[in-house]
Amino acid sequence: MSIERVLVANRGEIAVRIIRACHELGLNSVAVYSDEDRGAPFVSLADQAFFIGGSEARDSYINVNSILNAAEQTGADAVHPGYGFLAENAEFAQRCIDAGLTFIGPSPEIIAEMGSKIKAKLAAEKAGVLVVPGYHGTDQSDSVLLAEAKCVGLPLLIKASAGGGGRGMRRVYELSDFTNQLHLARKEAEAAFGDGNVLLERFVENARHIEVQILSDGSAPALHLFERDCSIQRNHQKLIEEAPAPNIPVSVRAKLLEAAVQLTSVIKYNSVGTVEFIYDLKSEDFYFLEMNTRLQVEHPVTELITGIDLVEWQIRIASGEKIPFVQSDITCSGWAMEARVAAEDAADNFRPQTGTINSYTEPTGKNVRVDSGVEVGSVVSHYYDSMLSKVIVKGSDRNSARRCLSRALSEYKISGVGSNIAFLTDVLSTDAFVDAEHHTGLLSTQWPDGWTAPSVNNRYRMEAVVAFFVSSTNFKNDNKSPWKSLGAWRITEAAGRTGSTTFYVRDAEDVDCVAQISGSGISLFVCLNSETIFELTNIALKEDTLCYEIDGHRRTVSVKTNDQSVILHSGVNSHRFHILTSEKALLESTVKEESQDGMIAASMPGLIVEVRVSVGDKVEAGQILIVLEAMKLLQNLTAPRDGIVSSVRHKVGDTVDGRVSLVTIKA
């Protein structure tokens, strides 16, 4: 192989994946990292690591000069872009080649043509492949786009031409909202890809998102590695993928594969790539959407059903090797599914979560694979995408793969930062998904008012306060009363009465509960709100696992205690509780923030990209005041009521912490 040392121009789980592939091929690997990623797992996994700049992506992972300098300083002779960032940047690919480096991906010319959704549609039309009706012209003026939107009809999609991942994509149902959504789509596209060009597409409702994996060394015909179904999406971002695609007529599947091969053969594609289609369930027609000239996030499901390592073949093709097998050699065996585990609150419109991971356990077992970029101590910040890892499984058929994925998710434990694991599990159990009758609109159909997290019950509250109590005292499960060694926790009552300790338990929904604990080392009694009483025996807390017996049943629950908080894992559900002593609860109740009704706070840490009001402006309820960029997405912060702006505390370009006051409104 002509390549010896590969610089991985990416971060997180995909950097880990590429570095491991390099090691399996006997190649040296070089990681590049930002300020925020100094302690990330991918940095220590690589043979070398080189600092390339600040935490903002523009200062590091999309800073071409810094990356090329890192390649020169470390002696790298090849660059792998992963996905996202510069993966589909033709200029970057050409700069790598000009610097004498091997770019692990297709040629810059192909990236330029197919990396742009607009140019890709033109290429598909030339190849005889149907495209989604819409507008993909070069005139990007507001007036032309509005006129074309009227021609396309509603509902329609505004899509960033340069990227993917749902960024720079906005759905429009009313023409009166078109200009505002166009503005937001351009802002997101510029922030994520450095290119504000967009295209318009007719929105095909209740459709399936099907994509075909392509492998080609530039010789015709290209090879397909079958198809994947990526229809389970939220905000146009994929959540669950599977291969092969279920419930597709044999004739339609054959035409899909043929169209993908035809397009990639015509353009003489020379790497791993993906051709994406939208499939209309009613008419059984399919349309070309775009081509990703890079590795896909969901590539593992294809690897599991074909046994072909896609990263390995990216590297081999880039080094000049020819593919030694033909289409008839590639077989599809079993069924694979993948779930993207992300730091986000699915019950709050998938709001990204930030924090430090303080406990982390990945699922294991036969046919279970986890591609992860985090570990205990990893900091999940607002600078990058919210995805933490991917859980990939294989089964003999679709149902066995689905059951395996549900089980694996139930074994996944993360604390310190919220995750979407419970939501993913609920999706897997919906009737539509079980019966393979799902579509891209399933989530809004299944949960029209949004997904609701499982309710907290008294058993969870009891377990949380017991875990906190045991971890905070010298509790010992023996015949001696623990109250003799409780120190500051001990409350002495009148002679002849049993001592008790009072805690205030608050769940994520700000529901308070008063818990009193009393008893001995053999039994503990927990009373909640002077009503519900639990009697526990044989209690032990070891290595973040609480064990106890109640009514003859032995229970084991995963917990993580930290200062005044407890995170409790019950199956796939995670619940966070704040546990306060009487004194601390009284102190907290006296601390009140300024008039919450009129305060607009940052929903999470992020970068202010737009301030639409000034002091003295009159605003109406629902009016957008601030646009915040966090984890590559834009969030509109709106006025909670009518009023006059009395203060604007931050300006465009400021980085702010979560929950800080940005704007105050007075009636």
Residue 486: its pLDDT value, please? 40
CATH number of the domain enclosing 489 = 3.30.700.30
294 is catalytic: yes
Residue 222 has which token pair?
Answer: 């290209």
Q: Which of 384, 415, 446 is the last residue of a domain?
A: 446
Mean pLDDT of the region 603-626 = 88
Same domain, 166 and 252: no
Residue 376 domain-assigned? yes
Residue 236: its pLDDT value, please? 82
- The most confident of the ranges 232-246, 494-508, 567-581 is 232-246
Residue range(s) defining the domain that contains residue 645: 596-666
What pLDDT digit, counting tens, does each position of 168-225 carry? 889 999 999 999 999 999 988 887 777 889 999 988 888 999 999 999 999 889 999 9
Pick the range with the lowest mean pLDDT from 255-259, 420-424, 556-560.
556-560
Q: Which of 381, 415, 446 is the last residue of a domain?
A: 446
Res 518 pLDDT > 50: yes
CATH number of the domain enclosing 635 = 2.40.50.100
Same domain, 320 and 415: yes
Residue 632 domain-assigned? yes
Same domain, 292 and 390: yes
Q: How confident is the model at residue 35 (pLDDT cuts 50, 70, 90)?
A: very high
User: Burial, 510: exposed, middle or buried (Cβ in 10 Å; 0-12, 13-18, 19+)?
Assistant: exposed
How are the residues of the chain apportioned to helix, strand and coil, as percentages rounded to the nearest 5?
Answer: 30, 35, 40
Same domain, 72 and 190: no
Q: What is the mean pLDDT of the chain?
A: 89
CATH number of the domain enclosing 422 = 3.30.470.20
Residue 500: its pLDDT value, please? 78
Same domain, 500 and 553: yes
Res 147 pLDDT > 60: yes
Q: What are the start-end ranges of the H helices in 153-205?
A: 178-193
**Could you give the C-alpha distances from 316 to 1, 272, 319, in angstroms and in order?**
7, 11, 5
Q: Are 426 and 452 in contact (CB under 8 A)?
A: no
Q: Are 6 and 378 in contact (CB under 8 A)?
A: no
What distance in Å separates the CA atoms of residue 352 and residue 342, rounded to the nearest whole number?
8
Residue 661 domain-assigned? yes
Residue 242 domain-assigned? yes
- Does a cis peptide bond (omega within 30 degrees of 0) precede residue 155? yes
**Three-state secondary structure call for residue 591:** coil
Res 399 pLDDT > 70: yes
Same domain, 198 and 212: no
Residue 508: its pLDDT value, please? 73
Q: How confident is the model at residue 26 (pLDDT cuts 50, 70, 90)?
A: very high
Residue 661: its pLDDT value, please? 86
Same domain, 214 and 361: yes
Residue 149 domain-assigned? yes
Select from 76, 66, 90 the least CA-distant residue to 46.
76
Per the structure, the count of domains in the chain is 5
Q: How confident is the model at residue 248 (pLDDT cuts 50, 70, 90)?
A: very high
Q: Which of 551, 566, 589 is the last residue of a domain?
A: 589
Same domain, 603 and 542: no
Q: How confident is the model at residue 632 (pLDDT cuts 50, 70, 90)?
A: low
Q: In the beta sheet, which residues pair with residue 75?
A: none
Same domain, 287 and 372: yes
Same domain, 536 and 602: no
What distance in Å separates the CA atoms of residue 60 and residue 36, rounded to the nearest whole number?
10
Residue 164: its pLDDT value, please? 67
CATH number of the domain enclosing 87 = 3.40.50.20
Select from 450, 353, 358 the least CA-distant residue to 658.
353
Parallel, antiparallel or unpaired: strands 500-507 and 379-380: unpaired
Residue 327: its pLDDT value, please? 97
What distance in Å separates the CA atoms of residue 629 and residue 655, rounded to the nearest whole number?
9
What pLDDT digit, counting tens, does each position of 438-490 carry? 999 999 999 999 999 888 889 999 999 999 988 877 666 654 444 333 433 33
Residue 147 domain-assigned? yes
What distance in Å separates the CA atoms of residue 281 and residue 288, rounded to the nearest whole number?
15
Same domain, 442 and 472: no
Mean pLDDT of the region 586-600 = 52
Q: How confident is the model at residue 597 (pLDDT cuts 50, 70, 90)?
A: low
Q: What are the start-end ranges of the H helices in 176-309?
A: 178-193, 250-266, 299-306
pTM (2 d.p.): 0.81
What distance in Å separates the CA atoms of residue 74 and residue 273, rounded to the nearest whole number?
29
Annotated catalytic residue, options 228, 294, 461, 506: 294
Residue 171 domain-assigned? yes
User: Burial, 187: exposed, middle or buried (Cβ in 10 Å; 0-12, 13-18, 19+)?
Assistant: middle
Residue 122 domain-assigned? no
